[in-house]
Structure 1
Amino acid sequence: MPSLLNRLIYVDDSGNPRSGLVVYGWVEFTPDHWPSALGNWLQMRKRLWREHRIPLTQELHTTEYVNGRGRISTQIPDRHIHNGVEYWKDFGREVALECLETLRNTEGLSLGAVYRKGKPEDIAHTRQQAYAALVDRLEAELARSDSLALVFMDGDGSDTSYRSTHRNLRLSQRRVIEDAIHLDSRSSQLVQMADLVAWCANSSIDRHPRNEFAWEWFEKYLSERDPRRSPQEI
């Protein structure tokens, strides 16, 4: 019996270059769950438009909106306006929690995160090592289940290290089909989902005081969808 394509994996990165930390987070599902996983997220996006005036086409880039830097809404709710001042951080965190609840309640979806720490001056090398280790782990899992996968990542593909990681493997034994397929996060809802996972994983590992509000988000909202229950050092 031929191997089956049974994993669609959407990956994004996070981390802290100043400390040498690299994080990869992802969401995944089987191809038959693709319509329902995306549909569940799109229903949430429609609610965000109805209730918060966040356009469906607005990119939800966690670093921007959760820290109040991104103006994701065309009309911030009155409850986040006090004495004429708009509290975008409070609003962004409310949106993030709604997104996290959606991930937690999406049937057929699983997720995960890995990280690696290196020297700040070697961050590019650490990123490459972390991705190579992640691909090695995926290849081993796929070999054990005699299955195939597609990996999608944020970006334009200009970083050739991702391509090299896959092409350095023996073609006859590769289980990830093709190289990582790059998608623009501005137009990919699924990459935006992975971005949220990666950001939450980073916050749980690199416990910076400014993100204390999110230190436990991965454990509270995402761990039940993660077979390993927490981000793994790799």
Structure 2
Amino acid sequence: MHLAYVDDSGDSKHGVTLTALIVEDRHWSSLLDAWLAGRRRLHSEFGVPKNREIHAVEFYKGRARVCETREQDASFTKVERGIAARLLLSSLATLEPFTVLSIATPDVRKPAAYARFIAKLEDWAAENDTYLMVFYDGQQGLAHPDTEPTPAELSELWTTAVRNAAPYRRVHRDLELSTRRIVQDVMMQDSQYSQLIQAADLIAYGAYQRHRQGHPELWGGDNAWRAAIQAYMRLAQHWPDDSDNGVYWLV
């Protein structure tokens, strides 16, 4: 059995990318430990707490305060953020047994792109004679840890989470039960509560930026974020051999 931590990237005009960080269940704790080792270094060198959510766009572009003090945050420039991202993914790359697999498609409708992604993961699982459980970045119906919602607000959070996940659950339920390799419905995981979804987010953004750099004709020009690409390249040994820098383009 393998676990796939999934996040998306892309843009609203040209397409969507979806990336899976795939690890066998028996190596799950080692993968998390490698990521947390990077988080500990991030804290000691830059003052970014281990429990502070890392969201790739905000992290790379400096749109949110992430350090413990204002002084640390002021010195945590875009250059340092790029170094920090390389540190994180280099730490993750020290673990051998995991795979990073991405698809890119011109279809901007995320549920449609997700269906194609699940089909690709089904193929991967069949080729590797395994089964996959998918965890996807999304609402879980949980409140922000710093808030105290009312029962009515909690009910609304849960209702919204269930409704938003419906198109993705449907993709799983449309799979042929007798042959499917993706088990269970999709498990939505809010990135603020999941370190490995945060890792998948950082990787997904890098995969999108690398594909955009290599294929400006598909993405409307090469305005790729170089720091994200440099971090993503640390994981090259974990890409499928027949992929385009870890990405499969699906028309």
TM-score normalised over the length of structure 2: 0.78
Aligned counterpart in structure 2 of residue 129 of structure 1, from 107, 112, 119: 112
Aligned to 2:237: 224
Q: What letter matches 1:14 in structure 2?
A: S
Output the CA distance in 2 between the equivalents of 1:110 and 1:144. 13
Aligned to 1:192: 198
Question: Deviation per CA, 1:44-87, whole angstroms, max 9, x where unpaired?
Answer: 21222222211111011111011111211123777x96xxxx45
Aligned to 1:209: 223
Q: Given the superposition, is the C-alpha separation of residues 104 and 171 from structure 1 closer, same or farther in structure 2, using an over 3 Å criterion? A: same
Output the CA distance in 2 between the equivalents of 1:183 and 1:232. 24
For structure 1, the 5+ residue unaligned runs are: none
Q: What letter matches 2:175 in structure 1?
A: L
Output the CA distance in 1 between the equivalents of 2:115 and 2:138. 17
- State whether residues 38 and 92 of structure 2, in contact with CA within 8 Å, keep that contact through their aligned partners in structure 1: no
Q: What letter matches 1:91 in structure 2?
A: E
Output the CA distance in 1 between the equivalents of 2:104 and 2:70. 35
Aligned residues: 216
Q: Given the superposition, is the C-alpha separation of residues 233 and 93 from structure 1 closer, same or farther in structure 2, using an over 3 Å criterion? A: same
More strand by share: 1
Q: Given the superposition, is the C-alpha separation of residues 147 and 8 from structure 1 closer, same or farther in structure 2, using an over 3 Å criterion? A: same
What secondary structure is seen at the aligned counterpart in 1 of 2:175? coil
TM-score normalised over the length of structure 1: 0.83
Output the CA distance in 1 between the equivalents of 2:19 and 2:70. 29
Asked whether 1:21 is paired with 2:10, we answer no
Q: Given the superposition, is the C-alpha separation of residues 193 and 223 from structure 1 closer, same or farther in structure 2, using an over 3 Å criterion? A: same
- Offset, 1:210: 6.2
Aligned to 1:163: 169
What secondary structure is seen at the aligned counterpart in 2 of 1:66? helix
Aligned to 1:233: 249
Asked whether 1:108 is paired with 2:97, we answer yes
- State whether residues 71 and 88 of structure 1, in contact with CA within 8 Å, keep that contact through their aligned partners in structure 2: no
Asked whether 1:98 is paired with 2:114, we answer no
Output the CA distance in 2 between the equivalents of 1:197 and 1:181. 19
- State whether residues 204 and 217 of structure 1, in contact with CA within 8 Å, keep that contact through their aligned partners in structure 2: no
Aligned to 1:61: 55
Asked whether 1:47 is paired with 2:61, we answer no
Q: What letter matches 2:211 in structure 1?
A: I
Output the CA distance in 1 between the equivalents of 2:95 and 2:80. 23
Range with greater deviation from structure 2 (130-139 or 53-62): 130-139
